[in-house]
Structure 1
């Protein structure tokens, strides 16, 4: 019984790790794109 629970928990933790990684990557890309757009606007204003 304990072994079964461990197996299921292990699988869940791996899934959580993957989702956490995906979420962090999404926020990372969002920040990059936002900074890129912001710099573009500043660049257009300077010209």
Structure 2
């Protein structure tokens, strides 16, 4: 049970790192308005 909880925490940590990494990329690229529309918008609609 401890192993399962540890793996779950590691997965959540990786997801958080990926999510905040995408947010930073959006800000650096000057695409901050698209952050409110959602991070998973196809690139065709980000222009």
Q: TM-score, normalised by structure 2?
A: 0.63
Aligned residues: 31
Flag the structure with more relative contact order, 1 or 2, with Cα contacts below 8 A and sequence separation at least 6. 2
Asked which structure has the greater CA Rg, the reply is: 1
Structure 1 residue ranges (4+ consecutive) displaced by more than 4 angstroms after TM superposition: none
Alignment gaps of 5+ in structure 2:
32-47
Q: TM-score, normalised by structure 1?
A: 0.63
Q: Which structure features the higher share of helix residues?
A: 1
Alignment gaps of 5+ in structure 1:
1-15
Cα RMSD (Å): 1.3
